């Protein structure tokens, strides 16, 4: 039985376990139908031209983890940003771990999707926001069909959340292969501010496939700062869908740091519904071996006077493959749009490959839109300069690569996270040259 | 003169009718509509082709039947009914003219209306013309001069008869019959086209040129061009098109193959001005063209195109940089107005070491048109030190048109250096103001700016052609080019 059939047949069992009367019941049913009709995407589809899911889908994933697993904090401490106080929403094999988490209902809601879906108190928010901007393509629909657990974050008006929120998904590997489908909903009301760090981590070499969907709504003048740390082990794959809807005068940032995982696909869609806003998406990808990272971004400029900035850097070693597929759409009402898109890549090996497709679709005339894309190597003369001055080649290379990716790090606003990322980069480049750690 | 604004220009663009829209009544021998094996055989027989050519066509037809029309391009149009087209039409007063006097006077008048009196062209421009009216070559000039150098320049149907060894060796090598839907169709039914062979070490002394027209109502035109530049030779080839105004959509599916052997250089320039349809988007030519060149060692192929016509353009002149140190270039201006749609660009396939490619694409959209650049730069794992530079600029006039960029970049070699940049802008009010201040009226100012915007590409056209290109830009963007 292939994975698609398995998912479709297990849907009934899933629906019976969760509340059938819930308002999302119809949404789930509808989504399953969509998935049943479309199936998993193949390379024939333009959006999946460079990314094949075959190697990921061949495992016999268990759709529902059979048992609850527990983890000791000391064993997994290193995956936390532990040196600062944070709210934490921790999942182990898709199940919420109250033991490791730190949630709150005090003024803001930092809690679970499952309780938000079941409690009447949250009904208005769910009705207003749930599944409103998620696309109806096959994998997002699959997630919608099985949406039950994940993070639920609601920040009311005029509230700056004083500490960052960490969302971490652990998989224990107690089962031979597991499919996880977390579903997150983040609503930030007027004048509020929140910082979120998300991470997926598997603890053994058993294959894990995560198909995650996050919907983020930023209302007037809100600031949302979202960080994705992707440094999973070599058998874990991640298909992430993040949808951001912005209202006027908002500022949203999404930073994606991709260092690990077997196959990582990031779908990141920004919808700008309002004027005078700014969307920023940045990413650093440093991979090797046979890793594959695919960034698929969309910025939809709907109204005038908005800006968007995209800056993705990639360094590819060994037999790794990188894909960048960025799309900017400027509707004809969206005059005075300023859209910028850059994708810079360095190939370190002849077996590594990069496929990039930065696209512009522009229907308005008074706009400033540009995109740039480069593929190149490290500057030999700069390397020579450093070697002459006694810096070993390996370190010199690492320094150059660090400098190459540095302007993405510049806009990281949590110092401890920045430090952590810097360390991860140094680790990934295999050097210890005492950057400002 | 009252103030001339961009709005006036837009208004003028809307109302500007196609100047070259006229229809010459020449007796034509036209095949019944529809396409099947018999028609393919009949075309082949009509052209007195050898057996291998007939087989080749039939093979292509088989492939075509199994293929589906591509839908990935960013264009919307009513699919042509391939069974409602007549696949062959030849002017009746054929064959063979020794001098121009023998040519049907009405036909000559047509050329005169186009402003390309052959006599004049011969004398003034020093251009050898292989004039194609509805697919059959009716006048070939300067054949003698070229013959002395060993250059073969003739219609492809003559070449099939006279130089079968060359045609057989090279046809379909760069654009295989099963390459794509339209190439397969063309391979099956192509009626005529040009053939050119430059022998080793010869520098072609003049610009070679063909002039295409679609003349007969309801006939599709399927041109086949094959240019072979042997080792160390050089040729500059021009292709220009105008077509009469018609209501039903006409189909044009040409195939152009260029082969540049070691150290050879081919410069291929196109000015395309098929009928773009009227201001309501009715009528107009569908232009689905496959153009591709193959570069051997140290060879160079340079494509220059000025695309102002056609209702729908689907065209990607490409270079396969097979040999080491080969160079590919692509310079393009695509102008769309009213309801025109263009999806055009290039493919640069880097296979050899130290290969270089340059892409300069300028898109100008006005009215309700859609203008897309779609390009591919591919560096294979063996193509060490490949270098590419791409620049795609779009100029938008009004907010009812669209400009799109779809660059595909695939690199599999660590020594590859690839740069791509694209910008979109409109004619700035400050630029116009600056010109106005200095006594240049708005019309001239817009002309200056558009001219400057496209200069980089216009400069690449051969002198004789640049004038005509300028003329065609004028028609498409009347009032903006001075």
At A64-81, the pLDDT tens digits run: 766 677 788 888 888 888
Q: Are A184 and A89 in contact (CB under 8 A)?
A: no
Contact B417 A367 (CB under 8 A): no
B1 belongs to a structural domain: no
Residue B482 belongs to some domain of the structure: no
Question: HSE-up of A274 (CA within 13 Å, CB side)?
Answer: 19
**Radius of gyration of the CA atoms of chain A, in A:** 21
Q: Of B403, B411, B421, which is closest to A372 when you measure between CB atoms?
A: B421
pTM, rounded to two decimals: 0.82
On whether residue B277 sits in a domain, the answer given is: yes
- Distance between CA B111 and CA B117 in Å, rounded? 6
Based on the number of CB atoms within 10 Å of its own CB, is B41 exposed (0-12), middle (13-18) or buried (19 or more)? middle
Within this chain, do residues A342 and A432 fall inside the same structural domain, yes or no? no
Please judge whether A355 and B409 are an interchain contact, meaning their C-beta atoms are less than 8 angstroms apart: yes
Same domain, residue pair A142 and A184: yes
What mean pLDDT comes out for the span A325-351?
A: 90
CB pairs under 8 A between A and B: 114
* pLDDT at site A369: 87
Q: How far apart are CA B418 and CA B386, in angstroms?
A: 8
Instruction: Tell me: pLDDT of A22 over 80.
Output: no
Question: Do A39 and A152 sit in the same domain of this protein?
Answer: yes
**Residues on chain B touching A295 (C-beta within 8 angstroms):** none
- Check whether residue A373 and residue A409 sit in a common domain: no
Residues A410 and A279 grouped into a single domain:
no
- Strand ranges in B316-457 using DSSP code E only, listed in sequence order: 318-321, 327-336, 341-344, 347-350, 356-365, 370-379, 387-396, 402-411, 417-426
Which residue of chain B has the CA closest to A50?
B410
> Which of B403, B423, B430 is the best mutation test for A, with the most CBs of A within 10 A?
B403
Give me the residue from B407, B414, B421 closest to A349, CB to CB: B414
Sign of CA dihedral B446, B447, B448, B453: positive
| A310 contacts in chain B (CB < 8 Å) | none
What letter would DSSP give residue B103? S
Say whether A358 and B412 touch across the interface (CB within 8 A): no
A103 and A243 housed in the same domain: yes
How far apart CA B184 and CA B65 sit, in angstroms, is: 9
Tens of pLDDT, residue by residue, chain B (482 residues): 445 555 655 555 455 554 555 455 555 566 777 788 888 888 888 778 888 888 888 888 888 888 888 888 778 877 777 777 777 665 544 334 445 555 556 555 555 555 554 544 443 344 555 555 544 444 455 667 777 888 888 888 888 888 888 988 998 899 888 888 888 888 888 877 888 899 999 998 877 776 555 555 445 578 888 999 999 999 988 886 554 545 455 788 889 999 999 999 999 988 887 777 777 777 778 888 899 999 999 999 999 988 887 888 888 999 999 999 999 999 998 888 888 888 999 999 999 999 999 999 999 888 888 899 999 999 998 999 999 999 998 888 877 888 888 999 999 988 999 998 888 888 878 888 899 999 988 877 877 788 788 888 888 877 766 766 766 666 666 543 32
Give the residue from A335, A375, A378 with the most B CB atoms within 10 Å of its CB, the best one to mutate: A375
- pLDDT of B481 reads 34
Looking at the predicted structure, is the pLDDT value of residue A223 above 90? yes
Cα–Cα distance, A334 to A367 (Å, whole number): 8
With tokens 């510049």, the residue in question is A410
**Do B197 and B231 touch, CB atoms closer than 8 A?**
no
Mean pLDDT of A237-243: 94
The closest CB to that of A356, out of B403, B409, B415, belongs to B409
Query: Cβ B409–A357 below 8 Å, yes or no?
Result: yes
**Domain membership flag for residue B419:** yes
Residue A351: closest C-alpha in chain B: B412
Q: Hey, are the CB atoms on A371 and B418 less than 8 Å from each other?
A: no
The answer to whether residues A249 and A153 belong to one domain is yes
- Cα separation, A267 vs A300, in Å, equals 14
**Secondary structure (DSSP) of A362-375:** E--SS-EEEEEEEE
Q: Which two tokens stand for residue A198?
A: 């998300």
Structural domain total, chain B: 1
Full domain range(s) for residue B167: 6-476
Shortest CB distance from A360 goes to which of B412, B416, B424?
A: B424
Mind listing the pLDDT tens digit for each residue in B129-162?
555 554 444 445 566 777 788 888 888 888 888 8
Element (H, E) at B64: helix B51-66
Contact yes or no for B72 and A46 at CB 8 A: yes
Residue B38 sits at φ, ψ, to 5 deg, of -65, -40
Residues A49 and A187 in one domain: yes
Q: Which domain holds residue A421?
A: 395-437
- A373 and B416 within 8 Å at the Cβ level: the answer is no
Residue A380 or B18, more confident: A380
> Are A425 and A325 in the same domain?
no
Which pLDDT score, from 0 to 100, does residue B98 have?
47
Whether A355 sits inside 8 A of B403 (CB atoms) is no
In a domain, B100, yes or no: yes
Question: Does A387 share its domain with A346?
Answer: yes
Q: Among candidates A135, A139, A150, which has minimal Cα distance to A183?
A: A150
CA geometry: angle at B115 spanning B110 and B120, to 5°? 105
Distance in angstroms (rounded) separating the CA atoms of residues B135 and B212: 8
Residue A423 and residue A342 share a domain: no
CB-based contact (8 Å) between B168 and chain A?
Answer: no
Distance CA B479, CA B13 (A): 8
pLDDT at position A196: 95
pLDDT over 90 at A154, yes or no: yes
Interval A404-409 mean pLDDT: 88
* Partners of residue B379 in chain A, C-beta under 8 Å: 375
> For A191-222, how does the pLDDT look when each residue is reduced to its tens digit (9 = 90+)?
999 999 999 988 888 889 999 999 999 999 99
Q: Note whether B83 contacts A: Cβ–Cβ < 8 A.
A: no
Instruction: Write out residues 126-165 of B within 8 Å (CB-CB) of A.
Output: none
Which tokens go with A290? 């046979």
Instruction: Determine which of A325-329, A428-432, B183-187, B439-443 has the lowest per-residue pLDDT on average.
Output: A428-432
Pull the structure tokens for residue A12.
Answer: 């009934």
Indicate if A109 and A195 belong to the same structural domain. Answer: yes
Contacts of B398 in chain A (CB under 8 A): 365
> Which residues from chain B sit within 8 angstroms of residue A364, using beta carbons?
396, 399
Using the Cβ of B398 and the Cβ atoms of chain A, whether some distance falls under 8 Å is answered with: yes
What angle separates helix B181-189 from helix B51-66, to the nearest 10 degrees? 150
Q: How far is A379 from chain B (nearest CA, A)?
A: 11
Residues of B in contact with A372 (CB under 8 A): 419-422
Q: Which helix (H) or strand (E) holds B475?
A: helix B463-476
**Residue B218 CB-density burial (10 A; 0-12 exposed, 13-18 middle, 19+ buried):** middle
Q: Return the DSSP state at A303.
A: S
CB contact under 8 A, A371 and B409: no
The per-residue pLDDT for B5 is 57
| Residue B18 burial (10 A CB sphere; 0-12, 13-18, 19+) | buried
In this structure, the strands spanning A278-287 and A251-258 are parallel
Chain B residues touching residue A46 (CB < 8 angstroms)? 72
pLDDT, position B228? 93
The number of distinct structural domains making up chain A is 2
* Of A302-316, A341-355, B50-64, B76-90, the least confident: B76-90
Neighboring chain A residues of B402 at a CB cutoff of 8 Å: 361-363
| pLDDT, position B262 | 93
Q: Give the up-direction half-sphere exposure of residue B106: CA atoms within 13 A in the CB hemisphere.
A: 12
CA quadruple B433, B437, B441, B447: dihedral positive or negative?
A: negative
What is the rounded distance in angstroms from the CA atom of residue B482 to the CA atom of residue B473? Answer: 10
Please indicate if any CB of chain A lies within 8 Å of the CB of B413.
yes
Please tell me the predicted confidence (pLDDT) of residue B480: 38
Q: How far apart are CA B249 and CA B252, in angstroms?
A: 10
Distance of CA A50 to the CA centre of its chain: 19
Shortest CA distance from B369: residue in chain A: A363
H-run or E-run covering B195: strand B194-198
| Closest Cβ–Cβ partner in A46, A355, A372 for B420 | A372
Q: What residue in A sits closest to B72 (Cα-Cα)?
A: A46
């Amino acid at each position: 039985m292939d994975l698609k059939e398995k998912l479709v047949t297990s849907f009934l069992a899933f629906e019976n376990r969760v509340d059938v009367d819930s308002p999302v019941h119809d949404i789930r049913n509808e989504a399953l139908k969509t998935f049943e009709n479309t199936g998993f995407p193949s390379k024939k589809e333009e959006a999946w031209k460079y990314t094949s899911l075959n190697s990921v889908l061949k495992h016999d994933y268990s759709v529902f983890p059979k048992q609850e697993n527990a983890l000791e904090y000391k064993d997994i401490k290193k995956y936390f940003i532990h040196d600062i106080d944070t709210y934490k929403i921790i999942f182990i094999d898709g199940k919420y771990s109250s033991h490791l988490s730190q949630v709150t209902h005090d003024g803001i809601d930092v809690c679970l999707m499952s309780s938000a879906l079941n409690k009447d108190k949250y009904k208005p928010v769910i009705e207003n926001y749930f599944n409103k901007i998620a696309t109806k393509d096959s994998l997002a629909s699959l997630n919608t069909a099985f949406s039950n657990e994940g993070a639920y974050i609601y920040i009311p008006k005029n509230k700056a959340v004083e500490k960052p929120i960490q969302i971490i998904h652990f998989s224990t590997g107690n089962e031979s292969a597991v499919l996880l489908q977390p579903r997150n909903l983040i609503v930030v009301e007027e004048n509020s501010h929140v910082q979120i760090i998300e991470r997926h981590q598997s603890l053994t070499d058993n294959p894990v496939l995560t198909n995650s969907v996050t919907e983020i709504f930023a209302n007037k003048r809100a600031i949302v700062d979202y960080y994705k740390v992707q440094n999973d082990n070599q058998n874990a794959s991640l298909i992430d869908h993040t949808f951001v809807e912005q209202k006027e005068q908002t500022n949203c940032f999404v930073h994606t740091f991709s260092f690990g995982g077997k196959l990582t696909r990031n779908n990141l869609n920004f919808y700008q519904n309002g004027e005078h806003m700014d969307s920023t998406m940045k990413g650093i990808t440093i991979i090797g071996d046979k890793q594959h990272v695919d960034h698929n971004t969309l910025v939809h400029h709907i109204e005038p006077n908005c800006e968007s900035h995209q800056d993705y850097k990639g360094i590819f070693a060994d037999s790794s493959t990188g894909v960048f597929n960025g799309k900017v759409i400027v509707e004809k009402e969206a005059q005075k749009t300023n859209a910028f898109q850059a994708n810079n890549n360095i190939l370190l090996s002849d077996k590594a490959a990069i496929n990039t497709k930065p696209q512009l679709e522009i229907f308005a005339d008074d706009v400033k839109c540009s995109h740039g894309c480069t593929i190149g190597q490290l500057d030999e003369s700069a390397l020579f300069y450093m070697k002459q001055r006694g810096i070993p080649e390996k370190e010199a290379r690492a320094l150059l690569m660090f400098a190459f990716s540095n302007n993405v790090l510049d806009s990281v606003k949590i110092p401890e996270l920045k430090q952590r990322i810097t360390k991860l980069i140094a680790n990934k480049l295999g050097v210890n040259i005492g950057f400002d750690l | 003169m009252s103030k001339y604004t961009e709005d006036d220009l837009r208004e003028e663009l809307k109302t500007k009718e196609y100047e070259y829209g006229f229809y010459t009544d020449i007796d034509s021998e036209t095949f019944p509509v529809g396409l099947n094996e018999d028609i393919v055989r009949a075309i082949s027989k009509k052209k007195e082709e050898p057996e291998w050519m007939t087989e080749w066509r039939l093979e292509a037809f088989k492939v075509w039947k199994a293929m589906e029309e591509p839908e990935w391009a960013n264009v919307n149009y009513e699919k042509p009914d391939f069974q409602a087209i007549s696949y062959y039409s030849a002017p009746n007063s054929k064959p063979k003219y020794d001098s121009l006097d023998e040519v049907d006077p009405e036909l000559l008048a047509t050329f005169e209306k186009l402003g390309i009196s052959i006599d004049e062209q011969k004398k003034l421009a020093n251009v050898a013309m292989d004039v194609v009216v509805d697919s059959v070559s009716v006048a070939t000039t300067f054949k003698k001069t070229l013959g002395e150098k060993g250059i073969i320049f003739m219609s492809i149907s003559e070449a099939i008869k006279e130089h079968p060894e060359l045609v057989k060796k090279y046809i379909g090598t760069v654009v295989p019959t099963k390459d794509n839907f339209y190439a397969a169709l063309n391979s099956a039914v192509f009626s005529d086209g040009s053939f050119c062979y430059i022998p080793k070490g010869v520098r072609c002394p003049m610009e070679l040129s063909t002039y295409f027209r679609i003349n007969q109502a309801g006939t599709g035109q399927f041109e086949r061009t094959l240019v072979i530049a042997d080792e160390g030779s050089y040729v500059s080839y021009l292709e220009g098109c105008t077509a009469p105004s018609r209501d039903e959509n006409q189909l044009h599916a040409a195939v152009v193959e260029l082969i540049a052997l070691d150290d050879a250089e081919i410069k291929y320039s196109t000015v395309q001005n098929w009928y773009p349809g009227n201001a309501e988007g009715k009528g107009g030519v569908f232009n689905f063209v496959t153009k591709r060149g193959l570069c051997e060692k140290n060879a160079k192929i340079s494509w220059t195109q000025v695309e102002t016509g056609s209702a729908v353009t689907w065209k990607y002149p490409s270079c396969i940089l097979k040999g080491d140190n080969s160079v590919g270039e692509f310079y393009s201006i695509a102008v769309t107005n009213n309801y025109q749609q263009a999806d055009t660009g290039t493919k640069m396939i880097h296979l050899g070491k130290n290969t270089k490619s340059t892409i300069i694409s300028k898109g100008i959209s006005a009215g309700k048109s859609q203008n897309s650049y779609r390009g591919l730069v591919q560096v294979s794992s063996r193509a060490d030190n490949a270098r590419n530079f791409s620049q795609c600029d779009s100029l938008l006039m009004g907010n009812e048109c669209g400009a799109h960029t779809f660059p595909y970049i695939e690199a599999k070699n660590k020594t590859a250096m690839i740069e791509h940049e694209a910008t979109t802008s409109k004619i700035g009010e400050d630029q116009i103001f600056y010109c106005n201040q200095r006594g240049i009226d708005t019309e001239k100012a817009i002309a200056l700016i558009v001219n400057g915007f496209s200069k980089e590409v216009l400069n690449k056209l051969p002198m004789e052609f640049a004038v005509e290109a300028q003329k065609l830009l004028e028609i498409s963007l009347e009032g903006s080019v001075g």
